[in-house]
Amino acid sequence: MTSVKTILINSLRDHSAKIGILGLGYVGLPLATAFGDAGFQVIGIDPDARKIDTLNKGKSYVQDVSDAQIVRLQEAGRLSATTDFSALRQCDAVSICVPTPLRKTGDPDMSFILSATDELAKYIHPGMIIVLESTTYPGTTREVLLPKLGKDKGLVVGKDYFLAFSPERVDPGREDWTTLNTPKVIGGITEDCSEVAAVWYAQALKTVVPVSSAETAELSKLLENTFRMINIGMVNELAIMCERLGVDVWEVIDAAATKPFGFMKFTPGPGLGGHCIPIDPLYLSWKMKAFQYNARFIELAADINTNMPRYVVSRVSDAFNDRGIVLKGSNCLVLGAAYK
């Protein structure tokens, strides 16, 4: 008898499998169009009725996806959008691309992942592959998703259905590295889960990088963004020190960058921006508290970066005072106000 795994892999390779994308934001919509362009029939699901209405009118609200691409895929019957989660019943492969913000208390807000998982649990069926893309703490796929999926229907992970984690690496607005050509790390709950997920993503994306576990994949994303966050914090503190020392920080950085090895250039700024860098490292810091471990580098860098806006304002205030101008009520031009 042909196994569930073999049947699913064959349907992924011949593109007869139906794809579901849960969450149609700046991660989910480009992924949906990537699979649509690869020849799959894709159903995008999002509770935001305004997004669905916009898409069904042939319009895109995401910078990296054009209106023309939406219309072309819709006319070809390869992209549809709905708020109805029961559409998951039709899907053989589902990617979860929902937000994972922080609460005001600094701990991860898992409500979007939990809600998506609860909906999936209603419609999961034998021969389904589920991949979580939302950035989160190590252990989420195994500890949060796995207990909720398949249990009520007697489905066994790695045999009846497949579950993996693959961190999104979207850099909105970037044209050289996109959803299609940015290497895709994938780690499954079991070896078979990793294999099925890798086969699926390889149908649309240029490079797939399988790893030994979901936890490895989860932690790889946090390492990427923690690396940036800590180095930005370090160079921001250097800027403060240079100001006290009367040294030009930009000249210092440019001089250091002439070293052809062992140095990576980072530049100071008014803190952190974007959807990921200010938040993701704190997932890891939060998780480590359960192991009675204080992630000191992360906490220190977060403190420095959080205080940079205040430092920038103080520098502006000092410059105004030097000219006999009061900051309050003055007009300030901010140059370089960007996503990052």
- Please name the helix (run of DSSP H) or strand (run of DSSP E) that holds residue 170, with its range, or none: none
Percent of the chain residues topping a pLDDT of 70: 99
Instruction: Tell me: pLDDT of 108 over 60.
Output: yes
As given in the structure block, the two tokens for residue 208 are 């797939």
Read off the pLDDT of residues 272-295 as tens digits, 9 standing for 90 and up: 887 788 889 999 999 999 999 999
pLDDT at 311 over 70: yes
Higher pLDDT, 105 or 177: 177
Mean pLDDT of the chain: 94
Residue 172's closest CA among 32, 84, 275, 253?
Answer: 275
Q: Which residue has the higher pLDDT, 35 or 325?
A: 35
184-to-68, 167, 179, 218 alpha-carbon distances in Å: 26, 8, 9, 12
Determine whether 86 is exposed, middle or buried from the number of CB atoms within 10 Å of its CB (0-12, 13-18, 19+): exposed
Asked if pLDDT for residue 2 goes beyond 90, the answer is no
pTM: 0.93
Query: By mean pLDDT, which of 10-14, 29-33, 64-68, 104-108 is the weakest?
Result: 104-108
Torsion angles phi and psi, residue 30, rounded to 5: -60, -35
pLDDT of residue 137: 95
- What are φ and ψ of residue 326, in 5° steps? -90, 130
Q: How far is CA 323 from CA 246, 320, 326, 327, 330, in A?
A: 20, 5, 9, 11, 12
Question: What's the rounded mean pLDDT across residues 300-317?
Answer: 93
Place of tokens 């701990």: 107
Q: Where do the domains of the chain lie?
A: 4-212, 222-322
Q: What is the pLDDT of residues 196-225, one digit of tens each?
A: 999 999 999 999 999 999 999 999 999 999
pLDDT computed for residue 278 by the predictor? 86
| Catalytic residue (choose from 91, 97, 193, 276) | 276
Each residue's pLDDT tens digit, 242-262: 999 999 999 999 999 999 999
Active-site annotation holds for 332: no
Distances (CA, A) of 214 to 76, 108, 123: 35, 18, 23
Q: Which top CATH class is 4-212?
A: alpha beta
Say which amino acid occupies 270.
P
What band does 1 get if pLDDT is binned at 50, 70 and 90?
Answer: low
- The residue ranking higher by pLDDT, 16 or 340, is 16
Per-residue pLDDT band at 113 (split at 50, 70, 90): very high
Question: Is residue 339 scored above 60 in pLDDT?
Answer: no
d(CA 22, CA 14): 23
- Is the CATH number of domain 222-322 1.10.1040.10? yes
The angle subtended at Cα 214 by Cα 203 and Cα 287, nearest 5°, is: 140
Q: Is the pLDDT of residue 102 over 60?
A: yes
Cα torsion at 173, 174, 175, 177 (round to 10°)? -140
**167 torsion bin: left (phi>0), alpha (psi -120 to 50), beta (else):** beta
C-alpha neighbours within 13 Å on the C-beta side of residue 23: 24
- How large is the average pLDDT for residues 300-327? 91
- Give per-residue pLDDT as tens, 156-195: 999 999 999 999 999 888 889 999 999 999 999 999 999 9
Which of 123, 97, 110 is closest to 24 using CA atoms? 97
- Binned at pLDDT 50, 70 and 90, residue 17 comes out as very high
